[in-house]
Structure 1
Amino acid sequence: MALIEALHWTLPPGVRAVFSTRAGGASSPPFESFNLGSHVGDDPRSVTANRQLLKMQLGSARPVFLQQVHGVDMVALDRDTPDGVVADACMAVDADLACTIMVADCLPILLTDRHGRAVAAAHAGWRGLVHGVVDNTLAQLCRQACVAPSEVLVWLGPCIGPTAFEVGADVRDAFLAHDASATEHFKPREQHQGKWFANLPGLARQRLASLGVSAISGNDGGVSWCTVHQSSRFFSYRRDGITGRFAACIWISR
């Protein structure tokens, strides 16, 4: 299996995007094998080797890895930005800086404008999504590229799917407090009072649409996008507990 996969997403000239799978790297179980996370307990030498493999796959672009904390902050990348900056979203306008988001159930979101002036990526677990990581990322991208949300292209990556993401009433209530129509993305779990199945990509699509974005590609909530169900392709923290991280990247190429 390939280390990375191209996205089925029509991008403006000069913009490229990929996501990685869990196969083809140097890590041993339970991180087998293409783990890109340095914070999960894997052998640091294996992680370094895997990140170098990713860099080789991206050509001249450098993937910039964040320290993600389920927040809403964004960092603007430049040539001097080191790996490990604390943020859950990033943006780049310079060529060959790959905005990189690592996940193992949360939703990676990639963005660019129709002119390819800027690219961005966001890490959207339920906390980040409900508290505004998408809102903040979109606003800063629009400001940088001088475009309206209607001119932004968005891709939603693999994440825990709507038949696997069980949440409590507190999560549902948090979304409904922001937008009552979010109720359509929560299905009660039969015989488990107070438990719900949440549709994370559906909630992200709803939030993006409310912000004026209409061009949304990628994860439609189908089982092929579910990290829990696609065990040979994706890491899943909910499924395995101790596990690695895969990544989604977007960059402007020279």
Structure 2
Amino acid sequence: MLIKPDWPVPSTVKSIYTTRQGGMSKAPFHSFNLATHVGDLLENVVANRQQLFDQACLPSEPIWLDQQHTDIAIQLDQSNLNAQVSHSLPPPIADASWTQNPGIVSVVMTADCLPILITNQAGTIVSAVHAGWKGLAKGIVRKTIQSFPTDIQQCPEQLIAWIGPAISMQHFEVGQDVYDTFIDQDSANSSYFHAKPRDETPSKPLPKKYLADLPGLVKKELNDLGVSHVYGGDLCSFALSEDFFSYRRSGQTGRMACLIWIEPTTRNG
């Protein structure tokens, strides 16, 4: 099943996100898994990707990334598309991509991490970002925007962002190391962590655990970067088990996709 994000973007900017429903994959990847790296049968993933292409009326094959929780954002153009279609090169290692080319589809896959779509009010650039806590801490959101052309970087108030289904604060437990990482970067980040009560005694101290608000951290970072038009962030991949894959909930599981592109003015054929 395909869903359109609810955000005020130009009519030429198209975006969708997928759910876990309606595909060919069997348990534990049931059923619309789009990832080739999780242990699913390749033929099922290929069939699901073809179904995505057909149902979404995509202008070209999405340019899939080899996501490794990096801080790498790449620009996409026709050469990336040619390499993917011909299988002449492996998927690029990156966790974000952007393009100004109509008909080039930027995509990220997630199963609890944050999928973030970005465009501008003129509809001249589109970007998809994958941000788990590691990528977020490394600055993937900031570095993606900083990789945009200078004229777009200099007008962050013109950017529009949407945050897709991700794990919510209620279900995302992290340790002291994650808390320290974000607090060392900005003490104001402490408001996005809630310490969990622990049943401990003086003779049996327990390591601290926190509930972390990843969507809140991303919204704050976008706002700090000058991006005030931020939407979404209210769908929990962990809680909505019928709709979304969740690595934290299930371990071995599939991946959803968030896609964005600039619609070509004309299409071949």
TM-score, normalised by the number of residues in structure 2: 0.89
Q: Which runs of 5+ in 1 are unaligned?
A: none
Higher strand share: 1
Structure 1 residue 238 and structure 2 residue 224: aligned?
Answer: no
Aligned length: 248
- CA distance in 1 between counterparts of 2:154 and 2:9 reads 16
Structure 1 residue 160 and structure 2 residue 167: aligned?
Answer: yes
- Of the three residues 127, 132, 137, the one matched with 2:144 is 137
- Of the three residues 206, 223, 247, the one matched with 2:220 is 206
Structure 1 residue 151 and structure 2 residue 158: aligned?
Answer: yes
TM-score, normalised by the number of residues in structure 1: 0.94
What secondary structure does 1:33 align onto? Answer: coil
- Of the three residues 211, 220, 244, the one matched with 1:197 is 211
Which one has the largest radius of gyration? 2
What whole-Å deviation, never above 9, does each CA across 1:44-67 have from its counterpart, x for those lacking one? 000001111111123124211100
| 1:10 corresponds to | 8
| 1:66 corresponds to | 65
Which of 77-86 and 67-76 deviates more?
A: 77-86
- CA distance in 1 between counterparts of 2:152 and 2:47 reads 35
Task: Give the superposition deviation at 1:146.
Answer: 6.0
- CA distance in 1 between counterparts of 2:259 and 2:170 reads 26
What whole-Å deviation, never above 9, does each CA across 1:25-54 have from its counterpart, x for those lacking one? 010110000000000000000000111111
| 1:40 corresponds to | 38
- CA distance in 2 between counterparts of 1:10 and 1:88 reads 25
What whole-Å deviation, never above 9, does each CA across 1:168-208 have from its counterpart, x for those lacking one? 01101101111110000001111265100000000001111
Structure 1 residue 171 and structure 2 residue 171: aligned?
Answer: no
Q: Is the 8 A contact 1:18 1:249 kept in 2?
A: yes
| 1:100 corresponds to | 107
Identity of aligned residues (%): 40
- CA distance in 2 between counterparts of 1:235 and 1:8 reads 21
Structure 1 residue 218 and structure 2 residue 232: aligned?
Answer: yes
| 1:253 corresponds to | 263
Q: Is the 8 A contact 1:118 1:144 kept in 2?
A: no
- CA distance in 2 between counterparts of 1:204 and 1:92 reads 21
What whole-Å deviation, never above 9, does each CA across 1:223-251 have from its counterpart, x for those lacking one? xx111110010000000001000010110
Q: Which runs of 5+ in 2 are unaligned?
A: 85-90, 200-206, 265-269
What whole-Å deviation, never above 9, does each CA across 1:69-126 have from its counterpart, x for those lacking one? 0011011111221442110000111111111000001000000111011101110000
Task: Give the superposition deviation at 1:140.
Answer: 1.9
Q: CA RMSD, aligned part only?
A: 1.3
What whole-Å deviation, never above 9, does each CA across 1:198-219 have from its counterpart, x for those lacking one? 0000000111111111000011
- CA distance in 2 between counterparts of 1:31 and 1:142 reads 38
- CA distance in 1 between counterparts of 2:241 and 2:196 reads 23
